[in-house]
Amino acid sequence: MGVFSSRRIAAACERNLAFLAIVGDQRPDFRTISDFRKIHRHRFQDLFVAVLRVAGELGMVKLGNLALDGSKVKANASRHKAMSYGDMKKDVERLRAEIADLLRQAEQADAEQGAALGSRRGDELPEELKRRRERLQAIEAAMRRLEREAKERAAEQRRERAASEARRQAEGQPARGRPPKPIAEEPEDKAQTNFTDPEAKIMKVSNKGFDYCFNAQAVVDEGHQIILAAEVSAAANDKQQAVPMGAAALANLEAAGIERPRDEGPSGAQSRPIPLSGDNGYFSEDQVKGLESQGFDPHIATGRQKHHQRGAAEAVDPPAAGATVQERMAQKLRTEEGRACYAKRKQIVEPVFGQIKQARGFRQFLVRGLKKVQGEWKLACLTHNLLKIWRYQCAPI
């Protein structure tokens, strides 16, 4: 019903007849509701699978065409509680100087007024010193996080460059352009982190600039818009999300007892590749190969088509021998079957995010930290599936 706050749920359990019909005389306190979600967040995956099993038993999961997409959901973190790496370095120097000055003042006061301490031991930290030390520790921890992320990013860039160079040499192409800049392992001065929720990342939000968000992912079945997998990532882009989401969908289907479609072959029934479409944000050669190895038939755009731009001519011939993964995918999406499959992507998955975020008002996570956020997203998605099941059985149109 779009009520997510523990306090609002508790208030509704005392005033709203729909809620009273469920709880009766046992009206929970908001702390009970809040603690329940925190304590049992790891069980929401089991509940998600249980709801998916019900949908499968009702025949609502067809596996004829799946679609993958992600949406930025605002984190429970304020932009005003963030600091850039450059400002951190300046603040660390200032705080260390202030702490040293306060320690000198404390030593001088102890030497001059030792007899006035009375029952105090005399080694308690002054409040100003305590606050500055805590602030210094928090900033230094944030700097270490940014430095660790910068090293991981540098290692990823090295892997990408090595793979690109290997492809270039295998194809026998000469090196073009200027040599790439050296990879830096230290964070840029403008790199930011948040003190409220360090795991949230600054991301671009539609028509609203930038904010601290998480990247909520979902794999949706075409039949009745049932969500097969729901995960959350702290990465701003989707480049590395296709294979993990495909693996999560297959694991959930197996746990729910939903069999994959099969075709009769010369050696018996064999699993038929499941079509899975995604926008160009998911495309990379590694992700396409990974999805194919999982048993999917990926239909992922290799580029972005501008508005009012005429599409490429329909492909009839098979791709040329030795074609790259990108060329084969582009060729597939230009065939009649490939176009029809990819054209359904928007109407399969995008309405699901609209129903969750717009219709039900789930626009911000209430908890902090990636693990807790994952539990909250699974709870939102499994209730989406429950609503689909209820409408399918009890409220047919």
Same domain, 361 and 317: yes
Same domain, 57 and 133: no
Same domain, 160 and 274: no
Same domain, 133 and 278: no
Quick one: DSSP state of residue 364?
B
What is the CA angle 201-207-208, rounded to 5? Answer: 50
- Give residue 124's pLDDT: 56
How far apart CA 70 and CA 306 sit, in angstroms, is 20
- Show pLDDT as tens, one digit a residue, over the chain (397 residues): 888 889 999 999 999 999 999 999 999 999 999 998 888 888 999 999 999 999 999 999 999 999 999 999 999 988 778 878 788 888 888 878 877 887 777 777 666 655 555 555 555 556 777 777 787 888 888 888 888 888 887 888 888 888 888 877 777 788 777 888 888 888 887 777 888 888 888 888 876 688 889 999 999 999 999 999 999 999 989 999 999 999 999 999 999 999 988 876 666 667 889 999 999 999 998 999 999 999 999 999 988 766 555 556 566 667 777 788 888 898 898 888 999 999 999 999 999 999 999 999 999 999 989 999 999 999 999 999 999 999 998 865 5
Same domain, 173 and 251: no
Segment (H or E) for 291: helix 285-294
- Give residue 209's pLDDT: 82
CB 101 within 8 A of CB 255: no
Identify the domain boundary among 194, 212, 246.
194
CB 61 within 8 A of CB 52: yes
Q: Produce one character per residue of 279-315: b if its CB has 16 or more CB atoms within 10 Å, e if not.
A: bebbbbeebbebbeebebbbbbbbeeeeeeeeeeeeb
Identify the domain boundary among 144, 160, 194.
194
Question: Helices marked H in 126-259 — which ranges?
Answer: 127-171, 242-255
- Give residue 110's pLDDT: 66
Same domain, 385 and 280: yes
Q: What's the helix, strand, coil split of the chain in %, to 5?
A: 50, 15, 35
How far, CA to CA in Å, does 388 sit from each of 276, 284, 368? 21, 33, 28
Strand 82-84 and strand 192-194: pairing?
antiparallel
Same domain, 359 and 372: yes
- Give residue 352's pLDDT: 96
Same domain, 30 and 62: no
- Give residue 309's pLDDT: 57
User: What pTM does this model have?
Assistant: 0.80
Same domain, 388 and 240: yes
Domain count, the chain: 3
Gyration radius of the chain's alpha carbons: 27
Same domain, 363 and 285: yes
What domain range is 88 assigned to? 80-111+121-194
Identify the domain boundary among 160, 177, 194.
194
